[in-house]
Amino acid sequence: MTSEQEPRPGSAVSAAELAADRDLDSFRRRARAFIRENLRAIEPEERFGLMRPKLSDEEELAAVAREREVQRLFYDHGFAGLCFPEEYHGRGLTPAHQRVFNEEIVGYEYPGRLQAPTFSPCAAVLLECGTEQQKRRHLPRILRGEEIWMQFLSEPSGGSDVAGALTTAVREGDEWVLNGSKIWTTGAWWSDWALCLARTNWDVPKHRGLTVFILPLRAEGVELHRIEMLNGLKDFCQEFLTDVRVPDSDRVGEVDGGWTVGTRWLFHERMLHNSPFVTMPLGTGYSGTNPAMLVDVARAAGTLDNPRSRDLIGEARVLDLAREALAGRIATGIRSGRMPDQSAAIGRLFTGVAATRVTTIAFELAGATAAAWAEGDGTLAEIGNDFLMRQVSCIGGGTTEMARNVISERVLGMPREAAFDRDRPFRDVPRGARNRL
């Protein structure tokens, strides 16, 4: 199907309805009616829990397929890509419209697996840094749920130092040949495309020799391995790239200019829940531990009337309110130019620390059942595992330690952290024997 033949967003509704969407109240009424008529109401516990192995592979694939369908419903009814430009099949509306939709979708199914990293950071990076051809090829398909994207950043040897990438890209005519490995890619086994950061120059300092590429995950030479966690979860993947050929037309940004793209990439990753490109029910953001569910936890534990329990529930609620207020302030400040883009790290830091605390509060409320539970313990089951996994909230999406560095150096203007590899050709930076060139 050519771009001229592709369905336009909102094809299932009238032009008059789409035009009326400019008014927020009209948009809210139409969004509310659409959600209640087309989407399944979910029970709060369906999305409660941190990285729990709830689904079989078959059930996971079915859930992904359903979320693609929901995303297509959004598109057909004019609710996909609310803040994406119209020329790429978005609606060209405002962040206020996205917030309204996020408010109205609370309590209903939504395509959560498609939001991060497909919409933010990947689609946001393409929109900001991609070529016109790349944007017209991929953004409409993303908005229709036809393409799910991953980010190939982390490497087995790199930790949080994504600029220290060892995956190589060597140019051969109009193609690049990629070799290396990426890791901790959640959901890569059911996804379609990736943004991949690779090293194209070893003779300059590490930040100056990187390039970003668009990579199809089913390309020849891409091998995906699923990583089984201690609790049985197998969402994380490691990818091995062996002589993977990528056309130069799928390069994003300038050769050796990948860190310029990468800076915006990390900005959009930190923005996530504050991003105008993401559809996510308001209040989501505690990595599965929803503060509203804490009342049910205390009730199930028989401690709801305990003053200490009420204090803990109140603490979690205050953290939730503070997070929402902070998110709004940061988003408004960045859009207006009163705050630097790097201020997104403030929201990332608060969200990670607050998520860890709220998960701990759930553990404290659950009492002895948090340490030993039976299958029939309902809301209380698995809270102990959530507690053991709580630091994931401070690691995934960029560590809170990195966020602290960004805040201190780039927001507050404090002296930069000492680095032994600064202004040194990356080829000459000492590494382990296995990684030495």
Whether the Cβ atoms of residue 350 and residue 326 lie closer than 8 Å to each other: yes
**Residue closest to 26 by CA, chosen among 71, 78, 72, 87:** 78
Mean pLDDT along residues 220-245: 93
Long-range CB contacts for residues 280-283, cutoff 8 Å, separation at least 24: 280/102, 280/110, 280/112, 280/115, 281/102, 281/105, 281/106, 281/107, 281/108, 281/110, 282/99, 282/102, 282/103, 282/106, 282/324, 283/106, 283/320, 283/324
CATH of 151-264, one of 2.40.110.10, 3.40.50.720, 2.40.160.20, 2.60.120.620: 2.40.110.10
Interatomic CA distance for residues 128 and 112, integer angstroms: 23
* pLDDT tens per residue, range 285-308: 555 566 778 999 999 999 999 999
Strand pairing category for 193-199 and 149-152: parallel
* pLDDT tens per residue, range 129-186: 999 999 999 999 999 999 999 999 999 987 678 889 999 999 999 999 999 999 999 9
Domain 38-147 annotated CATH 3.40.50.300 = no
Predicted local confidence at residue 432, as pLDDT: 62
Percent of the chain with pLDDT over 90: 69
pLDDT tier at 46, thresholds 50, 70, 90? low
Interatomic CA distance for residues 436 and 373, integer angstroms: 48
- Collapse the DSSP code of 171 into the 3-class scheme (helix H, G, I; strand E, B; otherwise coil) and give the result: strand
In this structure, what token pair is assigned to residue 49?
């829990």
- CA contacts within 13 A on the Cβ side of 134: 22
Segments making up each domain of the chain, as ranges: 38-147, 151-264, 285-411
**Residue closest to 364 by CA, chosen among 374, 356, 352, 375:** 356
Q: What is the mean pLDDT of the chain?
A: 91
* pLDDT tens per residue, range 112-123: 999 999 999 999
Interatomic CA distance for residues 312 and 152, integer angstroms: 38
* pLDDT tens per residue, range 340-378: 989 999 999 999 999 999 999 999 999 999 889 888 888
H-state helical runs in 53-94: 57-76
For residue 139, report the phi and psi dihedrals to the nearest 5 degrees: -60, -45
- The Cα angle at residue 78 between residues 217 and 89, in degrees rounded to 5: 50
CATH code of 285-411, in short, is 1.20.140.10
Residue 124: count of CB within 10 angstroms of its CB: 25
Residue 359: count of CB within 10 angstroms of its CB: 25
Interatomic CA distance for residues 405 and 416, integer angstroms: 8
